């Protein structure tokens, strides 16, 4: 019976949301790729069903009142005089109350289910630190750090710990579940299991100033093997530039102020006096990322050169200044960074 | 319905006499003395909070009822005052509970 | 149809005539103040609307460059702030309620006419202040570039801290909102007392027009919600100007505090906007359905219930912040509960239309459309009440769709309906119905075309407040459609403004009762005379004017009053009108607001201007205080003004004290929360119990002297009255002296306001109380001087009683502070 009701709801809501078919929507909240997202989706379907039902009743009642059960000006009969009806009034208190009950029970159940206060020991912990305007991701169990591109294994419990280095942001990957605000001084949590490998989009959802719109990121959910491969690669030291333009670029990286904010493990670490408030993305395996500047540009030499030449021009308010690296030097630096696969 | 309607002549209401004012003052001082006793006496520390709150409510009520004449005045004023007061107390308790959770579950010091 | 009895014809000038510009600047007539509000708010509506068009133009295509990120952020912030604080609230409360309260309850004016004018001028000051960023931008003033406010209409901390928002942008917002808050609270106080205390003799609460119910509840919401915002804004002000850490993480504080304070205000604020709209619809539907409002008692109770619940749901704006499952579930349930009274309203409106004889005027069309649009907004609200769903939808375009259906399709439609409905009464001319219907259909199409697709955009993950988006996100088509919809809305508003301008120039003259109305405002001429009613009405039944005309509430057979009776009444009215004294105009409200504006400007520019502004404010207050008895005497002697058993001023003071309860609670809660989060430096152990015990004793004794002073004045013993008054003030000074000593002592021990979060909350809480004592001392001294001038005697002892109420309240607050702050200094609260 319940299954049937769910089905019915699904059909009704599915029809109402038919518009979502056909087009490509990388941030669609209705295409669920984790247990968390499906729980929320199932609740959404139920509530939408009740909402549409109530809307239909209201529209129908108003239409009846206007087009059938009323007269027009000029009609000689005086209108009906009723101004209260206890049974009717009780009905529209009790009816909505029952519908609300039908919504509240699964709501509370989902609240409790989606906010567990413990998670399995073998859960993968991912630390998310939001910065203006990029994302730092680290895996404390594996000593891996990366930025703006998050890799997750499929079918394994993942425990996110979210905090901010400056102001309030919000971590949102619609396919994997609802958003959580990322608040300085506070550690928020999300626990979920991603169930389908694929590339998903995420974006900051709490207004955080000038480049709020440009604080995007990608999530790559990989098979367990794929994730392990990625992790092993991340643990490797950076690629040796050898000789050629990349080697010249490495020298520029070390001498230019890049290393103040950006770490390349084994080449330069974070200086201690710069706490993470000043930190920029880790570049150790920069070349292996698909995007740059918090998911707003494809990672290719042309875009990278444009970014380094003048970051605030690409991303308003970007805290990385234009460093005056130009011409051949710029090409060499780009070559080096792109070589860091 | 005309019973609750009064012209400005009825604005006058009974005020307590000077003797009542002085008596209330004596009680206020006594209650303050009790508060200090509770504060300084060691063995009362475990029940400090409830005792102090009861004493403060007593003082609060004395001033509101007699000096602010709520006891004598139109009940309208009592409503004007009690409703916001209750609301305020509820808000305060809710905020304390919400931040208690925040402090114990989510906060860290930078 | 039975021959309609005519409303009383009143000869003589109406309220809009005469006076010149000075007359408008000094007016205290509620109708003129309302018109000032209305004109200002309509101009600001143009500003807010233009901002909306800019936003939509920028979002028309992906990666668009019409606006830079910096401009976009300023414009969407100002669009929200303007529409909420400078358009909807002033139109509903400042314009329609202000104009209609006395007319609907049968009074000559509001309770405090000068405070009414003051509210308007403060509103204007706040609105102008909010836009000063344009001046600093154009003239390039300040050390860093500054422009309009740019942190969103709810300005989440800690983005608003000077570290992250260095320009003056946020300061304009912060101080501007503080000024607007004072304006709103004063207006609410005024209207609240007017409705409670000045209704016509027969008009019980259950006979009031539903719009009056809505406004009554709204004023209570304003009184009890704005203090929380004020406290939040004061903290922000201190953080930005004095380097405290109310929202700075480094000192152990949390920016979440702002969200709590803001939404404790912010959710009631939603109903501050929605309830008057409910009231308007409840007036329009019965008139054009020729039927009484269905379920009047339930409609009134549901308003009260909505207001009550609205204080317990603020957390649903914060589900994503991680409040924990228990708080999430609680707020989800309370939020859902609001749907029940709202449902009662929607169904009762439909039942009102059901079986009626409908007239599809523009006002009626807007009211009918309101029911559907508002229901859509309400239903998506239920989704957001469900915390897990909210996590997917909050801060996405789904929420943008939701609140535009509530505030646009809901509130704005109601306001437009109200314009078509009441404009004849206000301006004396009918708005053009043909243009009106053009506007209506354009708006319905444009509105739904703009906002309905936003549900899909939100579902497809488009976050709100982004100035641009990438092409491949699947958002481009709908955004383009929405922008087209927005342009259609713009056309609709051009029609609206054209209609208003044409009407004022050569619109059809309106009769007193053009719609066959049901409530008392239709019983007077259009536009009404300055004194509203020549003979104050009795108001003995619900829909009183209708009953006067037709004899019964529902049916409409036969007239209630005969033609002969009407003529006789008209004669009586003309005679009575000659003896009506209205309050004299006053320039001081304008000066007061000017002083406040100067203080605001000075805070940003030059300290000396603050002092100058403060002096202007102080002088205006004193001048108003001594202006008053003259009016009071005059009124008392010549006019049988009707009051319901209590004095307006005393009722106003009590309502103010109720508001202060919330204000101090916000401060005290912050203290208790932050005390236990203190990281370094002196903490509550520093507090000096012997000294403050003495202060407590002094303040309690000052209360005794205060009542002794009142008792002396009441029995006619002026001399002892003055002595006790000065004694009270003197004890107040001793208390303040103790506080100065205490603060100096802490200062020398190294506890500054900036030292830690204990210091800042302690100084702010206790200092605010001390400031109240200071104001009280000034007040008492002024009263004593008035006593020496012979202006206070046993008949006018009420002035002393009211000052006493304030003084005792300050005493009572101290009792709480002494217990919670001092005696519980060792107790960990949170």
Q: Is residue C15 part of a domain?
A: no
Q: Is residue C518 part of a domain?
A: yes
Range of the domain at C714: 645-823
What lies within 8 Å, CB to CB, of C643 at 6+ separation is B7, B8, B11, C197, C198
Q: What residues of chain A have any CB closer than 8 angstroms to a CB in chain B?
A: 163, 184-188
CA dihedral C149, C152, C157, C160 (to 10 degrees): -20
Is the four-CA dihedral C541, C542, C546, C552 of positive or negative sign?
Answer: negative
Distance CA C212, CA C46 (A): 28
**The token pair that represents A246 in the structure block:** 């990349």
Q: Count of B–C CB contacts within 8 Å? A: 178
Region of C107 on the Ramachandran plot (φ > 0 left; ψ -120 to 50 alpha; else beta)? beta
Q: Count of A–C CB contacts within 8 Å? A: 304
- Residues of A numbered 215-254 whose beta carbons fall under 8 angstroms of chain C's beta carbons: which are they? 216
SS3 per-residue string spanning B38-51: HHHCHHHHHHHHHH
- Judging contacts by C-beta atoms under 8 Å, the chain C residues touching residue A83 are 291-296, 553-554
The answer, yes or no, to whether residue B42 has pLDDT greater than 50, is yes
The answer to whether A245 and A331 are in contact (CB under 8 A) is yes
The answer, yes or no, to whether residue C828 has pLDDT greater than 80, is no
Q: Cβ–Cβ of C372/A62 closer than 8 Å?
A: yes
Q: Cβ–Cβ of C672/B35 closer than 8 Å?
A: no
Q: Give me the pLDDT at residue A254, please.
A: 82
The answer, yes or no, to whether residue A276 has pLDDT greater than 50, is no
Region of C350 on the Ramachandran plot (φ > 0 left; ψ -120 to 50 alpha; else beta)? alpha
Average pLDDT score over residue span A43-70: 95
The answer to whether A93 faces chain C, any CB pair under 8 Å, is: yes
Q: Cβ–Cβ of A186/B107 closer than 8 Å?
A: yes
Q: Is residue C717 part of a domain?
A: yes
pLDDT-based confidence at residue A277 (cuts at 50, 70, 90): very low
Is residue C345 flagged as an active site residue? yes
- Nearest residue of chain C to residue A30 (CA atoms): C459
Q: Cβ–Cβ of C382/A47 closer than 8 Å?
A: yes
Q: Is residue C459 part of a domain?
A: yes
Average pLDDT score over residue span C426-440: 95
* Residue B75 Cα to chain centre, angstroms: 17
Give the pLDDT confidence of C462-497 residue by residue, as tens digits.
999 999 999 989 999 999 999 999 999 999 999 999
> How far is the alpha carbon of A14 from chain B, nearest alpha carbon, in Å?
38
Give the pLDDT confidence of B7-40 residue by residue, as tens digits.
333 444 567 788 999 999 999 999 999 999 999 9
| Alpha-helical segments (H) within C534-647 | 544-550, 563-577, 588-604, 607-638
**The token pair that represents C742 in the structure block:** 């205490």
Residues C115 and C221 in one domain: yes
Q: Give me the pLDDT at residue C570, please.
A: 61
* Helix or strand run (H / E) with residue A139: strand A134-139
Query: Which of A112, A168, A186 faces C325 most closely, judged by CB atoms?
Result: A112
Average pLDDT score over residue span A112-122: 87
Distance CA A323, CA C460 (A): 38
Q: Give me the pLDDT at residue A333, please.
A: 92
Q: Give me the pLDDT at residue B73, please.
A: 85
- Judging contacts by C-beta atoms under 8 Å, the chain B residues touching residue A186 are 102, 106-108
The answer to whether A145 and A128 are in contact (CB under 8 A) is no
Distance CA A61, CA A58 (A): 5
Catalytic annotation, pick one of C6, C14, C464, C808: C464
What lies within 8 Å, CB to CB, of A286 at 6+ separation is A264, A299, A337, A338, A340
Q: Cβ–Cβ of A84/C296 closer than 8 Å?
A: yes
* Helix or strand run (H / E) with residue C420: helix C413-427
pLDDT-based confidence at residue C559 (cuts at 50, 70, 90): very low
Give the pLDDT confidence of A124-170 residue by residue, as tens digits.
999 999 999 999 999 999 988 899 999 999 999 999 999 998 999 99
Is residue C638 flagged as an active site residue? no
The answer, yes or no, to whether residue C2 has pLDDT greater than 60, is no
Distance CA C39, CA C127 (A): 13
- Judging contacts by C-beta atoms under 8 Å, the chain B residues touching residue C662 are 84, 87-88, 91
> Among C557, C577, C597, which residue terminates a domain?
C577
> Among C542, C577, C612, which residue terminates a domain?
C577
Contact partners for chain B, using 3 or more CB pairs closer than 8 A, are A, C
- Judging contacts by C-beta atoms under 8 Å, the chain C residues touching residue B59 are 815
Average pLDDT, chain A: 88
Give the pLDDT confidence of C318-353 residue by residue, as tens digits.
999 999 999 999 999 999 999 999 999 999 999 999
Number of domains in chain C: 2
Is residue C575 flagged as an active site residue? no
Distance CA C73, CA C71 (A): 5
Residues C528 and C658 in one domain: no
Distance CA C85, CA C407 (A): 12
What lies within 8 Å, CB to CB, of C119 at 6+ separation is C33, C94, C183, C184, C186, C187, C190
Length of chain A: 341
Average pLDDT, chain C: 90
Task: Out of A125-129, C134-138, C516-520, C732-736, pick the least confident.
Answer: C134-138
What lies within 8 Å, CB to CB, of C484 at 6+ separation is C449
The answer to whether B98 faces chain A, any CB pair under 8 Å, is: no
Is residue C109 flagged as an active site residue? yes
Q: Is residue C213 part of a domain?
A: yes
Q: Cβ–Cβ of A187/B110 closer than 8 Å?
A: no
Contact partners for chain C, using 3 or more CB pairs closer than 8 A, are A, B
Q: Give the full edge-to-edge strand order of the sheet including A149-153.
A: A149-153, A216-222, A198-203
- Judging contacts by C-beta atoms under 8 Å, the chain A residues touching residue B107 are 185-187
Most distant CA pair in chain B: distance in Å?
66
CB count in 10 Å sphere of residue A105? 10
Task: Kindly state the percentage of chain C with pLDDT values over 70.
Answer: 92
| Alpha-helical segments (H) within C60-200 | 69-81, 89, 98-105, 113-130, 132-139, 169-197
Q: Give me the pLDDT at residue C20, please.
A: 86
Residues C361 and C466 in one domain: yes
The three-class DSSP label of residue C584 is coil
Class (C level, CATH) for A245-339: mainly beta
Q: Is residue C173 part of a domain?
A: yes
> How far is the alpha carbon of A127 from chain B, nearest alpha carbon, in Å?
14
- Nearest residue of chain A to residue C478 (CA atoms): A19
Q: Is residue C779 part of a domain?
A: yes
> How far is the alpha carbon of B92 from chain A, nearest alpha carbon, in Å?
22
> How far is the alpha carbon of B60 from chain C, nearest alpha carbon, in Å?
6
Query: Which of B38, B56, B99 faces C816 most closely, judged by CB atoms?
Result: B56
Q: Give me the pLDDT at residue A312, please.
A: 93
Q: What are phi and psi of C6, to 5 degrees?
A: -85, 145
Mutate which: C658, C706, C727, vs B, most B CBs within 10 A: C658
Residue C679's domain is classified under what CATH number?
1.20.120.80
Q: Give me the pLDDT at residue C141, please.
A: 79
**The token pair that represents C729 in the structure block:** 């003030």
Q: What share of chain B is helix, strand, coil (3-state, %, to 5)?
A: 80, 0, 20
Residues C715 and C569 in one domain: no
Q: How many Cα atoms occupy the beta-carbon half-sphere of C263 within 13 Å?
A: 17
Q: How many Cα atoms occupy the beta-carbon half-sphere of A237 within 13 Å?
A: 6
Contact partners for chain A, using 3 or more CB pairs closer than 8 A, are B, C
> Among C544, C577, C610, which residue terminates a domain?
C577
Residues C323 and C174 in one domain: yes
| Alpha-helical segments (H) within chain A | 2-16, 35-67, 86-114, 224-235, 245-255, 258-261, 301-309, 311-314, 327-339
Give the pLDDT confidence of A309-319 residue by residue, as tens digits.
999 999 999 98
Q: What ipTM is given for this predicted complex?
A: 0.92
The answer to whether A9 and A49 are in contact (CB under 8 A) is yes
Mutate which: B100, B104, B105, B109, vs A, most A CBs within 10 A: B105
Average pLDDT score over residue span A44-69: 95
> How far is the alpha carbon of C122 from chain A, nearest alpha carbon, in Å?
30
The answer to whether C454 faces chain B, any CB pair under 8 Å, is: no
The answer to whether C784 and C709 are in contact (CB under 8 A) is no
Is residue C184 flagged as an active site residue? yes
The answer to whether C111 faces chain B, any CB pair under 8 Å, is: no
- Nearest residue of chain B to residue A162 (CA atoms): B106
Give the burial string for C467-505 (b: 16+ CB within 10 Å, else e): bbbbeebbbbebbbebbebbbbbbebbebbeebbeebee
- Judging contacts by C-beta atoms under 8 Å, the chain A residues touching residue C292 are 81, 83
Give the pLDDT confidence of A227-249 residue by residue, as tens digits.
999 999 999 988 888 888 888 98
| Alpha-helical segments (H) within C338-412 | 339-353, 362-385, 387-393, 397-404
Per-position DSSP letters for C444-494, written without gaps between them: HHHHHHHHHHHHHHHHTTPBTT-S---GGGS-HHHHHHHHHHHHHHHHHHH
CA distances from C134 to B32, C69, C145 (A): 55, 17, 11
The answer, yes or no, to whether residue C1 has pLDDT greater than 50, is no
* Residue C115 Cα to chain centre, angstroms: 14
Average pLDDT score over residue span C547-569: 60
Residues C652 and C557 in one domain: no
Residues C678 and C536 in one domain: no
pLDDT-based confidence at residue C568 (cuts at 50, 70, 90): low
- Judging contacts by C-beta atoms under 8 Å, the chain A residues touching residue B106 are 186-188
- Which residues are paired to A218 by β-bridges? A149, A201
Is residue C538 flagged as an active site residue? no
CA distances from C237 to C157, C170, C231, C241 (A): 12, 9, 10, 6
Distance CA C617, CA C723 (A): 28
Q: Give me the pLDDT at residue B7, please.
A: 38
Nearest Cα residue to C424 out of C99, C790, C815: C99
Task: Out of A1-5, A258-262, C257-261, pick the least confident.
Answer: A1-5
Is residue C404 flagged as an active site residue? no
Give the pLDDT confidence of C523-555 residue by residue, as tens digits.
999 899 988 988 888 888 888 899 988 877 665
- Which residues are paired to A194 by β-bridges? A34
The CA-CA-CA angle for residues A95, A99, A105, to 5°, reads 140
- Nearest residue of chain C to residue A67 (CA atoms): C354
Give the pLDDT confidence of C22-76 residue by residue, as tens digits.
999 999 999 999 999 999 999 999 999 999 999 999 999 999 999 999 999 999 9
Q: Is residue C3 part of a domain?
A: no
Nearest Cα residue to C391 out of A150, A174, A14: A174
Length of chain B: 110
Q: Which fold is adopted by the domain A124-222?
A: Immunoglobulin-like (2.60.40)
């Amino acid at each position: 019976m319940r299954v049937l009701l769910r089905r019915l709801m699904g059909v009704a809501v599915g029809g109402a949301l038919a518009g979502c078919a056909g087009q490509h929507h990388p941030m669609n909240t209705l295409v669920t790729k984790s247990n968390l997202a499906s729980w929320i989706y199932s609740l959404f379907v139920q509530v939408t069903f009740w909402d549409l039902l109530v809307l239909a009743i209201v529209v129908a009642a108003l239409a009846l009142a206007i087009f059938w059960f009323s007269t027009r000006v000029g009609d000689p009969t005086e209108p009906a005089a009723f101004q209260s009806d206890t049974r009717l009034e009780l009905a529209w208190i009790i009816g909505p109350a029952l519908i609300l009950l039908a919504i509240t029970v699964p709501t509370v159940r989902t609240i409790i289910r989606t906010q567990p206060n413990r998670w399995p020991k073998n859960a993968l912990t991912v630390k998310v630190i939001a910065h203006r305007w990029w994302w730092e991701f680290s895996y404390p169990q594996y000593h891996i750090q990366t930025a703006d591109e998050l890799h997750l294994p499929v079918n394994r419990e993942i425990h996110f710990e979210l905090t901010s280095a400056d102001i309030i942001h919000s971590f949102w990957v619609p396919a994997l579940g609802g958003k959580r605000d990322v608040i300085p001084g506070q550690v928020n949590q999300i626990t979920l299991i991603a169930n389908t490998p694929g590339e998903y989009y995420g974006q900051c959802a709490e207004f955080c100033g000038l480049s709020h719109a440009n604080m995007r990121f990608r999530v790559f959910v990989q098979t367990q093997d794929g994730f392990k491969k990625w992790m092993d690669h991340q643990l490797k030291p950076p690629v040796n530039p050898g000789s050629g333009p990349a080697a010249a670029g490495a020298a520029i990286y070390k001498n230019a102020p890049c290393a103040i904010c950006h770490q390349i493990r084994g080449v330069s670490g974070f200086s201690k006096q710069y706490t993470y408030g000043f930190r920029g993305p880790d570049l150790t395996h920069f070349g292996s990322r698909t995007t740059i500047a918090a998911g707003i540009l494809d990672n290719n030499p042309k875009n990278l050169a444009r970014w380094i030449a003048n970051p605030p021009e690409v991303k308003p308010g970007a805290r990385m200044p234009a460093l005056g690296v130009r011409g051949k030097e710029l090409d060499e630096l780009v070559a080096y960074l792109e070589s860091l696969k | 319905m005309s019973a609750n309607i009064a012209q400005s002549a009825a604005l006058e209401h009974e005020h307590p006499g000077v003797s009542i004012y002085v008596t209330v003052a004596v009680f206020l001082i006594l209650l303050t003395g009790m508060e200090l006793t509770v504060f300084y006496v060691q063995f009362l520390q475990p029940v400090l909070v409830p005792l102090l709150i009861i004493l403060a409510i007593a003082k609060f009520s004395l001033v509101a009822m007699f000096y602010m004449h709520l006891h004598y005045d139109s009940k309208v004023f009592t409503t004007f005052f009690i409703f916001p007061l209750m609301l305020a107390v509820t808000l305060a308790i809710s905020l304390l509970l919400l931040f208690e959770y925040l402090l114990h579950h989510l906060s860290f010091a930078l | 149809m039975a021959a309609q009895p005519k409303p009383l014809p009143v000869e003589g000038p109406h309220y809009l005539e005469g006076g010149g510009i000075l007359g408008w600047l000094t007016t205290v007539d509620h109708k003129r103040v309302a018109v000032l509000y209305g004109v200002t708010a309509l101009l600001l509506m143009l500003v807010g609307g233009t901002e909306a068009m800019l936003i939509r133009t920028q979002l028309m295509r992906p990666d668009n460059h019409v606006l830079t990120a910096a401009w976009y952020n300023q414009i969407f912030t100002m669009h929200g702030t303007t529409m909420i604080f400078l358009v909807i609230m002033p139109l509903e409360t400042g314009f329609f309620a202000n104009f209609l309260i006395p007319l609907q309850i049968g009074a000559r004016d509001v309770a405090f006419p000068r405070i009414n004018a003051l509210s308007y001028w403060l509103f204007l000051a706040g609105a102008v202040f909010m836009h000063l960023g344009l001046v600093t931008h154009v003239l390039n003033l300040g050390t860093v570039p500054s422009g309009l406010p740019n942190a969103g209409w709810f300005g989440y901390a800690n983005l608003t801290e000077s570290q992250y928002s260095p320009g003056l942008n946020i300061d304009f917002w912060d101080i501007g909102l503080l000024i607007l808050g004072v304006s709103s609270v004063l207006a609410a106080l005024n209207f609240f007392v007017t409705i409670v205390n000045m209704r016509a003799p027969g008009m019980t609460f259950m006979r009031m027009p539903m719009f009056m119910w809505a406004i009554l509840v709204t004023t209570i919401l304003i009184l009890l919600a704005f203090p929380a915002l004020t406290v939040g804004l004061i903290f922000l002000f201190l953080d930005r100007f004095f380097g405290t850490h109310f929202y700075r993480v480094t000192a152990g504080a949390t920016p979440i505090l702002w969200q709590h304070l803001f939404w404790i205000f912010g959710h009631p604020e939603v109903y501050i906007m929605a309830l008057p709209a409910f009231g308007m619809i409840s007036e329009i539907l019965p008139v054009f359905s020729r039927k009484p409002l269905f379920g009047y008692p339930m409609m009134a109770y549901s308003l009260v219930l909505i207001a009550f619940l609205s204080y317990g749901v603020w957390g649903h704006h914060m589900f994503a912040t991680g409040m924990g499952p228990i708080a999430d579930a609680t707020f989800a349930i309370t939020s859902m509960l609001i749907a029940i009274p709202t449902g009662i309203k929607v169904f009762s409106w439909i039942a009102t239309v059901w079986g009626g004889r409908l007239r599809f005027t523009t006002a009626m069309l807007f009211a009918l459309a309101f029911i559907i649009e508002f229901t859509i907004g309400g239903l998506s609200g239920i989704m957001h009440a469900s915390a897990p769903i909210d996590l997917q939808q909050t801060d996405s375009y789904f929420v943008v769709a939701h609140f535009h259906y509530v505030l646009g399709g809901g509130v704005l439609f109601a306001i437009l309906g109200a314009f078509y409905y009441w404009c004849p009464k206000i301006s004396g001319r009918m708005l053009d119905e043909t243009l009106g219907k053009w506007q209506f259909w354009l708006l319905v199409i444009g509105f739904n075309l703009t906002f309905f697709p936003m549900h899909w955009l939100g579902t497809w993950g488009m976050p709100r407040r982004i100035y641009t988006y990438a092409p491949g996100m699947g958002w481009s088509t709908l955004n383009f459609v929405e922008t087209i919809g927005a342009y259609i809305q713009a056309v609709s508003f051009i029609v609206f403004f054209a209609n208003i301008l044409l009407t004022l120039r050569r619109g059809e003259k309106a009769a007193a009762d053009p719609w066959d109305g049901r409530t008392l405002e239709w019983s007077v001429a259009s536009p009404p005379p300055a004194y509203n009613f020549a003979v104050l009405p009795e108001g003995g039944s619900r829909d009183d004017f209708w009953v006067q005309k037709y004899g019964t509430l529902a049916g409409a057979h036969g007239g209630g009053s005969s033609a002969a009776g009407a003529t006789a009444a008209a004669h009586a009215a003309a005679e009575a009108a000659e003896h009506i004294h209205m309050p004299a105009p006053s320039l001081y409200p304008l000066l007061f607001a000017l002083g406040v504006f100067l203080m605001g400007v000075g805070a940003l520019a030059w300290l000396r201007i603050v002092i100058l502004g403060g002096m202007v404010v102080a002088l205006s207050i004193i001048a108003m205080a001594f202006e008053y008895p003259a009016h009071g005497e005059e009124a008392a002697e010549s006019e049988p003004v009707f009051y319901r058993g209590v004095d307006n001023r005393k009722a106003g003071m009590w309502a103010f004290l109720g508001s202060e309860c919330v204000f101090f609670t916000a401060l005290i809660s912050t203290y208790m929360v932050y005390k236990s989060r203190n990281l370094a430096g002196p903490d509550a152990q520093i507090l000096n119990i012997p000294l403050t015990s003495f202060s407590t004793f002094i303040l309690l004794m000052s209360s005794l002297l205060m009542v002794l002073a009142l008792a002396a004045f009441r029995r006619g013993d002026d001399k002892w009255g003055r002595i006790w008054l000065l004694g009270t003030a003197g004890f107040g000074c001793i208390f303040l002296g103790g506080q100065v000593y205490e603060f100096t002592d802490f200062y020398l021990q190294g506890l500054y306001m900036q030292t830690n979060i204990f210091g800042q909350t302690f100084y702010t809480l206790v200092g605010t109380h001390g400031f109240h004592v200071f104001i009280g001392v000034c007040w008492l001294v002024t009263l004593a001087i008035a006593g020496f001038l012979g202006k206070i005697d046993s008949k006018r002892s009420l002035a002393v009683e009211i000052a006493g109420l304030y003084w005792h309240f300050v005493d009572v607050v101290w009792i709480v502070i002494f217990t919670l702050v001092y005696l519980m200094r060792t107790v960990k609260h949170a």
